Amino acid sequence: MNQRWFHRRGDLARPGWQSVVDAQTPGWAHTGIRIAELTATDALDLPAGVESIVVPLAGAFTVAHTRDGHTTETRLAGRASVFAGPTDVLYVSVAETARLSGVGRVAIATSPTDVDKPTVHIPAASIPVELRGAGRSSRQVHNFGTPDALDAARLIVCEVITPAENWSSYPPHKHDEHLPGHESRLEEIYYFETAPVGGSDAAADGAFGMFSTYSSPAGEIDINAMVRTGDIALVPYGYHGPAVAAPGYDLYYLNVMAGPDPERAWLISDDPAHAWVRDTWTGQSFDDRLPYTDDEKGSS
């Protein structure tokens, strides 16, 4: 079961892509992700028949996107690393074809749809930055692809930075039932990156965090994994969390969500056994290491 839903870096490789999750992935229907590392001579076509969000992880990129024979080039300034604050992103309509070039590491979040929403470039300065939790449950969320920030057809996308020793995706929660106004059905992808804390001389390839899922009435799932840069967890159902940043190492993950419900909404139910933890945050301060806005505060 763990092998079906959790994949190490490179396990899902296809030509040109380090990892690919899409409709060809067994048991998967509503979301997708593609990860690539490009050099100056590389170029990749984005998949057709899906809406996409291009998310620079490290580096800068150009997207040449075409509609009705007219091509527009959008330059993404990007960032030094996922711990260097928000990046600008590009939402690409299902009605456009697109080709990606640049230097660095990039993620493409996707969802199949036939609804034509306009392509839009969201600059880093316009991305909502949210601090969630409190104390050792403090984390930083970049909400560039959530319903309040982006007019997409199905996609709900955000990224989360969890400083060393902190917990996120906590309390454990689920979104696998259609309960209007209370819970929505959403597949979810977690793409992870890890790095030694800023100023550390530790080896980057030793950085790690932990991630867990467990079953709900909607289905059986069991992931308890040490996660490193490039790993991917698929959450079709079930309770997920916590995601824990180990001492000495910061944790990042990109969340990609979409589902079959008519409303595009992120509505969750906490595990009743652990929901009380939220009340303990009252009166606690956010971690004073947050927000991470540049390489001086984040990891490299």
Residue scoring higher pLDDT (295 or 210): 210
pLDDT at 296 over 70: no
Is residue 140 situated within a structural domain?
Answer: yes
- Whether 293 is covered by a domain: the verdict is no
Q: Which residues are bridge partners to 219 per DSSP?
A: 216
**Residues β-bridged to residue 111:** 51
Is the pLDDT at 244 greater than 50? The verdict is yes
Give domain status of residue 295, yes or no.
no
- The identity of residue 71, as a single letter, is T
**DSSP bridge partners of 158:** 255
Position 251 in a domain: yes
* pLDDT mean across residues, the chain: 96
Token pair for 177: 């039932």
Percent of the chain scoring above 90 in pLDDT? 95
Residue 298 has pLDDT above 70, yes or no: no
Mean pLDDT of 261-274: 97
The CATH number for 72's domain is 2.60.120.10
**β-strand 249-258 against 139-145: which pairing, if any?**
unpaired
The two three-digit tokens of residue 219, written as one number:
């289905």
In Å, what is the CA distance from 220 to each residue of 236, 239, 242? 10, 10, 17
User: How much is the pLDDT for 102?
Assistant: 98
Residues in the chain: 300
Q: What is the pLDDT of residues 170-219, one digit of tens each?
A: 999 999 999 999 999 999 999 999 999 988 999 999 999 999 999 999 99
In tens, the pLDDT along 62-91 reads: 999 999 999 999 999 999 999 999 999 999
Q: How many separate helices (H) and strands (E) can be counted in the chain?
A: 1, 21
Range of the domain at 99: 2-281
For residue 129, list its beta bridge partners: 142
187-212: b (≥16 Cβ within 10 Å) or e: bbbbbbbbbbbbebeeeeeebbbebb
Q: Is residue 118 part of a domain?
A: yes
| Residue 265 domain-assigned (yes or no) | yes
What are the distances in angstroms from CA 168 to CA 135, 165, 226, 256? 11, 10, 15, 16
Domain count for the chain, please give it: 1
Q: Within 10 Å of residue 79's Cβ, how many Cβ atoms?
A: 22
* Distance (Å) of CA 96 to CA 147, 198, 221, 260, 292: 21, 40, 36, 23, 34
Torsion-angle region of residue 3: left (phi > 0), alpha (psi -120 to 50) or beta?
alpha
Decide if 288 is inside a domain. Answer: no
Q: With respect to residue 54, please indicate whether it lies within any of the assigned structural domains.
A: yes
Predicted pLDDT of residue 293: 87
What pLDDT, on a 0 to 100 scale, did the predictor assign at position 2?
Answer: 59
Amino acid at 195: A
Q: Within 13 Å of residue 2, how many CA atoms lie on the same side as its CB?
A: 10
